A and B are shown apart, each in its own frame.
Chain A
Amino acid sequence: MSYMINYIMIFTIIINFYILATSRFRSLLKVTAIQGALLAFLPLLLEAPQIETSSIFIAVLVFAFKGIIFPVFLVRVKRKVNIFSEIEPYVGYIYSILFGAFAIAVSIWLSLKLSFLTDRFDFKNMTAIFTIFTGLFIIISRKKAITQIIGYLILENGIYLLTLSLVVEIPLLIEIGILFDIFIAVFIMGIAVYHINREFEHIDIDKLNELKG
């Protein structure tokens, strides 16, 4: 089963590079959804072959929220504010990919430091840290408010992966609570973007610079 986990990790890393390189919202949303949906299968693969019912329940919930509900909701928000692509980010796309390469190197180094039980390099740790870096980078380097929401989703994907990879056993109720919290967060951020658009006629956070000092 571990080879399937490795495939999922490699796929997640490729998705992260794609996210760093793309400017189109629809593709951003699609790949973030695929990333979330892939992560939903991880608890099942980690516990195989003795899978508990609570893991199946969590996997279904995570798949539903991250794979279906979040992208559908964000597509509706995108349609209401009428934006199609991120035209001029703070950090250009080529430099973003270079950052991605640098971030992978740092993630490998960090996960070696974090190696808990063995001194070997743990793929899941590395992917988790890299996903967190990607999410944070998207939040700070992109100008549209919706892209910041997507960056937050990627950050939360990375945190979920870190939780799974550090073998932390979190009670079912807490997992549901965290998922619900993220759902409310995305919901509220979506409504906030709609308010920004109504007030400003754009969703460029670059132009939100009235309050200074």
Chain B
Amino acid sequence: MVLNEILLSIIFISPFVFAVLCFKTIRNIKYKFAALLVCIMIEFILGLIFIIETAVYGPSFYFSKWFFLDSLSAFNLLVLLLVFCLASIYSISYFNVELKAGIINKKGLGKFLGLWLSSFPVMLVVLFSNNIALIWIGMEATTLITAFLICLHKKSSSVEAMWKYIIICSVGVAFAFIGIILLVASFKVSKVLTVNLLLWTEITTTIDVFNIDFVKISFIFILIGFGTKAGLAPMHTWLPDAHSQAPAPVSAIFSGFILSESIYCISRFIPIVEKATNYSGWCLNLILFIGLFSLIIATFFIPFQKNLKRLFAYSSIENIGIIAVALGLGGFGTFAALFHTLNHSLSKTLGFFSAGKIDQEYGSNEIARINNLLKRIPDWGTGLLFSMFILMGIAPFAIFMSKLQIIMTFISKKLWILLCIFLSAVCVIFIAMVKKILNILWKNDDQSAVYKNKAAFFPIIIIFLIAGSLLLLSFGLPWPLDILITQACQIINGGK
């Protein structure tokens, strides 16, 4: 156990150390990037050790039960590691281009790396913590540290997006805290158990008697609060601005991980509320309806998007809505929700990487200005088309599979009207995305132009890695991942 606690301390503290190194101490740009690579390698290896240990041995506790890792946290940790490491590697080439073009200087790069590396351990705190108030502290800290990553390029629009993000998400997370307070107040316990009152494992196992009305009110606050951070409508208004104005690696970590981390926080409270309301499915219905609402809102906005990154941001709202719908269905839907989390994170990451390169090449993200895409940027252009196709839900990629699983769950629960709403929303979005993809593909105005860019090695590797894994995932989950997700489903469904 002591060895594990030492490893846990290293995994939390070393990014801060590297952040300070990259920010101030290391002057040379190449060494800054080298430090970034060393840090993510350490974190990746340590994180994998924890995930494999949890998958094989079961949940384990650290630091007097304030920190623990079970299958649900381990699965989200896997998503975090994948997205963060890919985004860090991508950011090296992204910022090299910007440094050469003079958009950012060495000081700005140091600021980015310092904030980027510091945001990793606070995201880890949310995943590892057993203490529900510590989850709140981690979410608030994530909001604050990532705020200045949005306005890295100082434009008026990015400053506006940053302010919206800070205010809306801070108020939202404050609401979540009211919910946590009300939840803890609803326990009818004696003084003896006060020490463990905030521990999630204690709440789900030992505490039996709740004041049901308090629990219901607290869950509404928690859903609205963490739903703000997740991008569930109608609290989603900060999302398109923040994701479109941030630089590409930051958008990737936002869409790829932070949104699903907020859904993770909500899903931590589902078994508690379910147990308190006698498994009546009250909270699941709430999540289902708010997910459908987000899906409908996204359907209204996606066809009218002219900016590529904003389009991807609304697609994130759509996919988080789909994940919430699947969570709210329960049963097999929980499995589909977690599977969809993984697929969405990977494909959205690829999408934002490509959008970032397009921004650098064409000077703006307007879809109308993308001209001669496959000739001008052969590697990332293909990546963009792959990501847009995969996000739409085209077979045989993994997002098609997870959407199919959700439809199967709808059918098995005989919710026909809701299934019709779900299908029509998904179809409208499909048609809108196809139209945009065709617009991009068929815009070849200047046939005779010759471009110097050849397909480079690393982009092809990243694109094939992501697209290939999404293809393979649709045929079947690898056995360790399957076990992890199944155990995570059992945690959310409360062993029912």
Contacts and interface: CB of A to CB of B under 8 A. Distances in A.
A155 B174 contact: yes
B408 interface: no
B198 A171 contact: yes
Contacts, number: 104
Contacts of A40: none
Contacts of B162: 192, 195
Given A181-B137, A210-B160, A169 B194 contact: yes
A169 B133 CA distance: 12
B140 A181 contact: yes
Contacts of B244: 211
What range describes how many residues of A lie at the interface?
Answer: 35 or more
Given A185-B170, A196-B159, A166 B181 contact: yes
A94 interface: no
A195 B151 contact: yes
Given A159-B177, A211-B161, A188 B147 contact: yes
B462 to A, nearest CB: 29
Contacts of B330: none
Nearest to B217: A114
A210 B156 contact: yes
B156 A199 contact: yes
Contacts of A152: 167, 170-171, 174
A208 B131 CA distance: 38
Nearest to B185: A166
Contacts of A1: none
Contacts of A132: 178
Interface string B104-148: 000000000000000000000000000101101100110010011
Given A159-B178, A162-B181, A211 B134 contact: no
B150 to A, nearest CB: 10
Interface in A75-95: none
Interface residues of B, number: 46
A179 B183 CA distance: 20
A174 B167 contact: no
B185 A188 contact: no
Contact of B181 (A168, A188, A191, A208): A168
B182 interface: yes
A66 to B, nearest CB: 15
Given A136-B171, A162-B178, A185-B170, A195 B140 contact: no
Given A145-B163, A162-B181, A208-B163, A188 B148 contact: yes
Contacts of A166: 181-182, 184-185
B304 interface: yes
B154 interface: yes
A6 interface: no
B157 interface: yes
A39 to B, nearest CB: 15
A199 B159 contact: yes
A163 B159 contact: no
A14 interface: no
B471 interface: no
A168 B133 CA distance: 12
A184 to B, nearest CB: 5
A210 B160 CA distance: 8
Interface in A152-209: 152, 155-156, 159, 162-163, 166-171, 174, 177-178, 181, 184-185, 188-189, 191-192, 195-196, 199-200, 205, 208
A168 B185 contact: yes
The 5 closest A-B pairs by CB, nearest first: A166-B185, A208-B160, A211-B241, A174-B133, A177-B137
21 contacts: A139-B171, A145-B163, A148-B167, A152-B167, A152-B170, A155-B174, A159-B174, A159-B178, A166-B181, A166-B182, A168-B185, A174-B133, A184-B141, A188-B144, A188-B148, A189-B170, A195-B162, A196-B160, A210-B156, A211-B245, A213-B304
Interface of B: 131, 133-134, 136-137, 140-141, 144, 147-148, 151, 154-157, 159-164, 166-167, 170-171, 174, 177-178, 181-182, 184-185, 194-195, 197-198, 211, 214, 240-241, 244-245, 301, 304-305, 310
Given A162-B178, A166-B184, A174-B137, 17 more contacts: A155-B171, A177-B133, A178-B136, A178-B177, A188-B166, A191-B148, A192-B162, A192-B163, A195-B154, A195-B159, A196-B159, A200-B156, A208-B163, A210-B156, A211-B157, A211-B244, A211-B245
